[in-house]
A and B are shown apart, each in its own frame.
Chain A
Amino acid sequence: MKPTRLIIVAVGGQGNLLASKVLGEAALMADIPVRMSEIHGMAQRGGVVESAMVFGDARSTIISDGEADVLVGFEPSETLRALNKCNPRTTVITNMAALPPFTVAIGRGTYPDLDHLKRLITEKTGRLIAFDAAELARAAGNIMSVNIVLLGALCQTGILPVSEDMVRRAIETRTKAAFVDTNLKAFDLGYQAAVA
């Protein structure tokens, strides 16, 4: 099976690791080879958290610059920062709800203009799916489910070899029982957002 490479970038606390875990479990259920890597430790103290997932026949667990087939960003400026992982064929899915880093508040750096950001990503990659995932997470009943909203959008693209059903099953069996209903709703809202 030809490898498919996915990068997920997020801000510490946004649930990036849970999202990749759900996809990994879905791949396991479907017997699809999967490897992933993530960075823990100091990087998590409010910093950027990146995880890489490689589906199919490859042995590496990390993804080089220019080699991601899909980039999912949980925060718009982090999506832009990860553009070096993309190539002209990459599909990019991004949450548009900004979480400006603290450096902006103390006057060190300017947060990028969101329309300009969308234009840049569109120019440099194959396809951009951008929407406010935080709003959809709230609509689903839990602001913490931004990660699952974006998984819904990711599954809609059909780029990954794991099916939508498998991901749903992984959400049912691998996320906390109390959140399964809101998570499934979040997944559906994300899925529909990507159709539009």
Chain B
Amino acid sequence: MHKLLTNQPGQKVLLLGNEAIARGALEAGVAFAATYPGTPSSEISLNLFQVAQETDLYFEYSTNEKVALEVAAAAANSGLRSMCMMKHVGVNVAADALMTLAYVGTRAGLVVISADDPYMFSSQNEQDNRYYGKLSGLSILEPSSVEEAKAMVPYAFDLSETLGEPVILRTTTRINHSNAVVTLGALRAPQTKGRFEKDPFHYVTVPAVSRQLHARLLENMARAQALAEESPYNFEEGNGTWGVICNGVSYTYVADAIQDLKVEDQVRVLRIGFSHPLPAERIGTFLSGCEKVLVVEEGEPYMEEAVKAFAQERGLSLPINGKGPTLFSRLYEFDPAMVRQKLADYFGIACPPSAVPDLSDVPEIPQRPPTLCAGCSHRATFYAVKKATEGMDVIHPSDIGCYTLGFLPPLSMGDFVICMGASTGSAGGFAQATSQKVVSFIGDSTFFHSGIPGLINAVFNNHDMTLVILDNRTTAMTGHQPNPGVDMQELKLEGYGQVALEPLVKAIGVPHVVTIRPYQLKKSIAAIREAVAFEGVSVVIAKEKCALYAKALRQLRGKPFRVSERCQNHRDCISDLGCPAFYLEDDRVHIDADICIGCALCAQVCPENAIVPVKST
């Protein structure tokens, strides 16, 4: 039995934030869940995917976040409690659906999880998705801890049903990827079959209907604000006339700072957990009792600006600060010592200085950047593209996935990355705007997610470009989630369809399509050369299962290689491929047999043919 299905209310367990959120959904009786994987949200989905294999829960990996939200919106409007989870930038993809879904609303509870990533541990930006509350008119809840994240999910479902609107639960990486002890509640049996009751003057958003629905949304926002005023997730702590207003993990840093500085009787804290609509009355009352207020929030001055506006409406002129050159930054994440220091400085409290030792005499430590794995087939494809386009002036738009790492030397394959799918759209733009060659890269999952429209665009507008689809047969970066190209029978799961890439690309009308096996270097280079020479749109599908995924499926058959005595120390292997299986010892190249998967790429690159299979003994 899956550990999240333990039905022993009161039992204490150690859970990852994302496990706690999944458990919260099960305690809320979630019946339907859809997602596109994205760090830091991925483990919520992974756990629900596993739970769905043992229960009546319906779970799906959708092709992208917009589809996931549409699927969930339909289920919720058929009466099923539904959840849809994604990383912060996924909400951008889903935003078109989200904005008008807010007009239409929901019948059964619908909770949308937005997992934000301050500091960009694994993201391309650190946008603050609280603004989606303002933009859409939907309620936003923000937990400060793992325990609270679990508790807020059932609250969010109830709130969603009270308002008849989706509710956004916004987390940050330090909630998703923290562990804490959580007390289990009772599991609630879900209602798993619904019925859609037709009501076109509510559900069909032609202008005349939407004019009514927008007014309905504003009424719901007013009701939501009244609920925020009373919500137990907006609470006060401590005494005194110095005020702190904070949210999310910042609250935990503030709480620790107040304890460390022993100022419980001087500082009063208003913790905001129901942050859209903000409880204006409650904040106004809090301000009236303060001489000076500090707003502590990671990201944008979302609360600070609103708090200042509430003060103005009440004619209050006390100092209210948050972001600023000597205060908090809009950049990156906070940490406990930083919050303690800023809080002490702002209110004039004595604070012991930091005890970090002087590290000026520590030598520079070589960097250890994330890198493509040993034997990663992307490395082989990148190298083949490099060889096939040698001497040409080529732009390489790339996309979001493990292969984004190909931009690093020695491969240096990646010149322009902005968002999921942009490798196909931007490739056409570069081709049209310049006389440079364009060879762009996209993964299989990202191609299904949002690469297809860009490729159709390229065919229609006849852009001169080559798209390389790095088809590693899984969604690797986020932990090997299925995508529409995956053979689900390999995972012993029945009832799935499968979309083959080559016929799909041909059906789009791409005039030159070729599939290569990237470990066959010579053939791959020749095929890529031909595709690049083709005038118009060409697609190369580089098909080879992700080595880590193949290993997990026990399909890795390769034997490790070694560097034989024929080696003349040219080091083309190391300097051109950068595979982490290589290491230097006594100024000679060696291969770590424990991590070499035997892809044989380096053996094909070595000018002396000095790299040979390890003989089995």
A112-B363 in contact (CB<8A): yes
B257 (CB) vs chain A CBs: closest residue? A60
Contacts of A24 in B (CB 8 A): 14, 179
Does any Cβ of B come within 8 Å of A62's Cβ?
yes
On whether the beta carbons of A42 and B359 are closer than 8 Å, the reply is no
CB contacts (< 8 Å) of A63 on chain B: these are: 335-336
Interface presence of B448 (CB below 8 A): no
Q: Tell me whether A35 and B366 are in contact in the complex, defined as CB-CB below 8 angstroms, given that A24-B14, A66-B356, A120-B361 are known contacts.
A: no
A179 vs chain B, min Cβ distance (A): 17
Chain A stretch 1-57: residues in CB contact (< 8 A) with chain B: 11-12, 20-21, 24-25, 28, 33-48, 57
Q: How many A-B residue pairs have CB under 8 A?
A: 181
Minimum C-beta distance from A108 to chain B (A): 7
Given the complex, which residues of A lie within 8 Å of B402, measured CB to CB?
45
Query: Chain B interface residue count: which class?
Result: 35 or more
Which A residue sits closest to B372, measured CB to CB? A45
Cα A36 to Cα B175 with chains together (Å): 10
A104 neighbours in B (Cβ, 8 Å):
366, 584
Residues of A within 8 A of B180 (CB): 34-36, 61
> Given A24-B14, A105-B574, A105-B583, are A62 and B367 also a contact pair (CB < 8 Å)?
no
Expressed in whole angstroms, the Cα–Cα distance for A67 and B358 within the complex equals 14
Docked complex Cα distance between A110 and B337 (Å): 32
> Are A64 and B368 within 8 A (Cβ)?
no
* Residues of chain A contacted by B575 (CB below 8 angstroms): 106
* The residue from B174, B354, B366, B583 contacting A66, defined by CB atoms under 8 A apart: B354
Q: Are A87 and B122 in touch, CB under 8 angstroms?
A: no
Residue of B nearest to A110 (CB): B366
Residues in B whose Cβ lies below 8 Å from that of A57: 259
What is the CA–CA distance of A38 and B17 in the complex, to the nearest angstrom? 11
The one of A33, A36, A64 in contact with B338, judged by C-beta atoms closer than 8 angstroms, is A64
- A contact residues around B329 at 8 Å (CB): none
Given A34-B180, A38-B177, A88-B357, A67-B362 contact (CB < 8 Å) = no
Residues of B at under 8 Å CB distance from A?
12-14, 39-40, 42-43, 121-122, 144-146, 173-174, 177-181, 249, 251-253, 255-256, 259, 335-338, 354-359, 361-373, 402, 405, 409-410, 477-478, 574-575, 578, 580, 582-584
**A-B pairs, 6 with minimum CB distance:** A109-B366, A41-B122, A64-B337, A87-B355, A41-B39, A66-B356
Other than A60-B249, A101-B367, give 20 A-B pairs with Cβ distance below 8 A: A34-B179, A37-B174, A39-B173, A40-B177, A41-B39, A42-B39, A46-B370, A59-B144, A59-B252, A60-B252, A61-B180, A62-B335, A62-B336, A65-B337, A87-B357, A102-B582, A110-B364, A112-B365, A116-B363, A125-B357
